[in-house]
Amino acid sequence: MLIDIRGYEKWAESAENTRYTTPAAEPVLIADLLDAWLARQSNVLAASTLEGYRKIVNGALKPAFGHHALSSFKRSHARDWAATQTFGNKRMTNVLSVLRTALDEATEDELVARNVLKNWNYQRNDGLKSDDDIDPFTSNEQCVILGAMSGQDRNLFQFAFWTGLRTSEMVALRWTDIDWARGIVQVRRGQTRAARVLNKVEKTKTRASRRDVKLLGPALAALADQKQFTLPMGAEVFHNPRTGAPWSGDQVIWLAWNRAIEQSRVRYRRPYQTRHTYASMMLSAGEPPMWVANQMGHISLKMIEQRYGRWITDAAPDAGKRGEALFIG
């Protein structure tokens, strides 16, 4: 049997070409882009920030845009979606910022020619806000709430009311951070639930957050009582009395807080209001706003003025009297 050599060679060449020909590339989806971007952030972002981005990617961006091909994604897709959402401008800015950053990297990697969200954001008219949810506790309310607590729970929240520390800062606080001679606490780190899961301790939220906070009487009293519970262990100051271990994050602290609020029958506000309460108390007492800003970990007076301006006004009911006395007589 004779074989047609020329026919065989033609077939072999065709088969070889088919074998090594690269198939048409699958389009890159927005979901793929976001997953890759998120993976690259794991080694450069704080655990709490990364967890926040992960929630944005998985909870908002991928459900909304994940099915779109990167090459055909348009600004109108983002604009039309944003118009249907009910959350506020701050949340919208955060969500779109993640998508915009991922698209920036896609542009740098030459996956697309330009970032369709560059220099664009979506804003709606949210109307006037009432002091940005600042709702401090009165002195009487503080007493009632703390009266519904005992032991380590009471020490934690009394310390919160009288230092203005963030929850993540109190969770990470160590006995070595307390300077008894100078009467200050050195705030150098924070630990969110996400960070503890990864066994990480993070730096403070901002450079200004790295600060020395003066310990006022009630805060010192809380620490003095807390010594019996955790000082012998020599590590974290505040522990969860139900587990005997350091607090694992803000969620379990909320549970302790909620129990006390329910028992005290005080109108409910979230634990973060302890921080607002501290600021409003200090300003209403006439403490210098810049001192309060430093105690709170704000880099300038702007945040204090924007958030707590009405307490600054209340702190100076006789403002202008000295000017009158000096120049009018």
Catalytic residue among 189, 275, 276, 307: 275
Per the CB < 8 A criterion, the answer to whether 122 and 78 are in contact is yes
Q: Report how far residue 190's alpha carbon sits from residue 4's, in angstroms, rounded to the nearest whole number.
A: 79
114 catalytically annotated: no
In the annotation, is 67 catalytic? no
Collect all residues with Cβ–Cβ distance below 8 Å to 179 and sequence separation of at least 6. 185, 186, 212
State the Cα–Cα distance between residues 98 and 96, nearest whole angstrom.
Answer: 5
Residue 79 falls in the annotated catalytic set: no
Say how far apart CA 253 and CA 166 lie, in whole Å.
12
| Residue of 154, 174, 211, 298 with catalytic role | 298
Catalytic residue among 174, 239, 278, 308: 308
- What is the rounded distance in angstroms from the CA atom of residue 228 to the CA atom of residue 243? 16
> Considering 54, 68, 205, 210, which one is annotated as catalytic?
205
Q: What is the DSSP letter of 72?
A: G
CB neighbourhood size of 7 (10 A)? 9
- Could you tell me the maximum CA-CA distance found in the chain, to the nearest angstrom? 128
Cα 82 to Cα 123: distance, rounded to the nearest angstrom: 9
Burial of 3 (0-12, 13-18, 19+ CB in 10 A): exposed
Cα angle 263, 167, 219; round to 5: 75
Q: Is 275 among the catalytic positions?
A: yes
Question: Of 62, 154, 166, 239, which residue is the catalytic one?
Answer: 166
Q: Has 269 been annotated as catalytic?
A: no
Candidates 179, 145, 186, 183; CA nearest to 165 is 186
Active site residues: 166, 205, 275, 298, 308
